[in-house]
Amino acid sequence: MPAAAGVTRGGIDAMISNEPSYKERRNKRWIAISLLPAVALFIVLTAFPVVNLLALSFFHVEWREATSAFSFVGLDNYHRLFSTEKVFWDGVRNTAFFAVTAVSCQMVLGFSMALAVRTAGSYGRAVLTGIFLLPIVVPPIVIGTMWRLIMGREFGLANMLLGLLGLGPVDWLGNPDIALASVIFVDIWHWTPFVFLLMLAGLESLDGEVIEAARMDTRSRWQQIRHVVLPMMMPTIVVTLMFRVILSFKVFDEVYLLTSGGPGTATEVVNFSIYRTFFRQDQVGYGSAMSIVTLFAISVVIILARGFAQRRAARRSAVS
């Protein structure tokens, strides 16, 4: 059979053998070349520092005669971390508690605030949005200073107000039983606007007709939120939750400025332990081991959260 006009014998063979055409191959090459800068940046800015950190965690570093001396210690730093270290693990416990408590409160408050703004009039919406967003634009150093002044036992504003009511004074930052709760409170105040912002964006993007239909079909506002708004908002909620969990594991500035991890280890968090070990004590190898363990733990949390979100999405699409 003669070949069709414009179609070469080689082209027919290529189609028959399912081999990519020249155009497809060229496209793939172009895609690979286009990705190269991003891959190079990833290697230089992310992969290399992490690999370097991992390598450092197997060494003990000392300075003698103004020269660094690296001694290979194998898994000693990890062994020490898992066998004799106490402060870091107190920090892990506090950080986990901090993340769960602070993020839960922020999610509930942020979502409620977004609902309030969504249903407010245009003037109220502008005013409420401005007020709600204020904490997130304040620099962390100012937040630390401000709340340290407010929560001071002797001269703090909080105790002055309590005094007017005949209560207190409360040692917000010096009492080991409530110091962590005080830091969590400040974190909630600081980061709830972030949740609010994402939730508001999510609510604004919902289909208005569905919401209107739900209003007619449900008996109460709570039913409307529970059975319509919340399921529709789930992708936004999951993404926001992941953002906040990751960020809450990175808490440092509030603890550093308010309590420096004390009293005792009441407000010790992972990042503060790493900072103290790596920078103040100059234990580079041991600090690297702490960092790698933390990095690994956060990665596991993210992978689990993503897996959960993907399974949930798959289940929902199967049902619908």
Partner 1 sequence: MQSFIATFSRRSMLRACAAAFIVAAGVGTALAQSQPPVTMAINQSPWLNSFVAMVEEYENETGNKIELDVTPFGGLLEKIRNSVRGGQGAYDIVNVNSLWLSEIYSGGFLAPLGDVQAGYGLPEGVLTYGDTTNWDAEAGTFTGGGALMGVPVNGNVQVLYYNTDIYAKLGLHPPKTWDELLANAQAIQKEGEAYGFVPRAARDSIVYNFTPYLFSHDAAFFRITDSGKADVVVNSPEALKALQTYVKLATESGPPGPGNIAQGELIQLLATGKGAQAIAVIAAWGQLEDPNASRVVGKIDAALLPAGPAGTVASSAGHWVAGIPRNVPPEKQKAALAFLDWFAAKERQVDYVRAGGVPVRGDITGADLGDDAAFRFIGAYSQNAQHAVMGLPFAQASEASDAMALSLNRAVISEMTPAQALNQAAADLAGVLERNGFAVTKLPDL
Residues at the site binding partner 1, with contacts judged by CB under 8 A: 63-68, 84, 87, 152-155, 171, 173-176, 179, 259-265, 276, 279-283
* Smallest gap from residue 253 Cβ to partner 1 (A): 12
What region, left, alpha or beta, does residue 65 occupy, with left being phi > 0 and alpha being psi -120 to 50 degrees?
A: left
Which pairs with CB-CB distance under 8 Å and at least 24 residues apart come from 257-262? 257/140, 257/141, 257/143, 257/144, 257/145, 257/148, 258/144, 258/147, 258/148, 258/151, 258/173, 258/182, 258/183, 258/186, 259/173, 259/179, 259/183, 261/91, 262/179
**Least CB distance from residue 184 to partner 1, whole Å?**
16
Residue 153 makes CB contacts below 8 A (sequence gap 6+) with 159, 169, 170, 171, 172, 173, 174
Min separation Cβ 263 and partner 1, Å: 3
Give bridge partners of residue 67 from the DSSP assignment.
64
Locate the DSSP E strands across the chain: 59-64, 67-72
Q: Between residues 193 and 261, which has the closer beta carbon with respect to partner 1?
A: 261
CB of 39 to partner 1, least distance (A): 30
CB atoms within 10 A of CB 159: 20
**CB closer to partner 1 out of 178 and 298:** 178
Q: Which is nearer to partner 1, 125 or 153 (CB)?
A: 153
Least gap, CB of 284 to partner 1 (angstroms): 11
Which of 70/243 has CB closer to partner 1? 70
Closer residue to partner 1 in complex, CB, 93/118: 93
The minimum distance between CB 273 and partner 1, in angstroms, equals 10
Residue with Cβ nearer partner 1 (67 or 122): 67
- Residues counted in the chain: 320
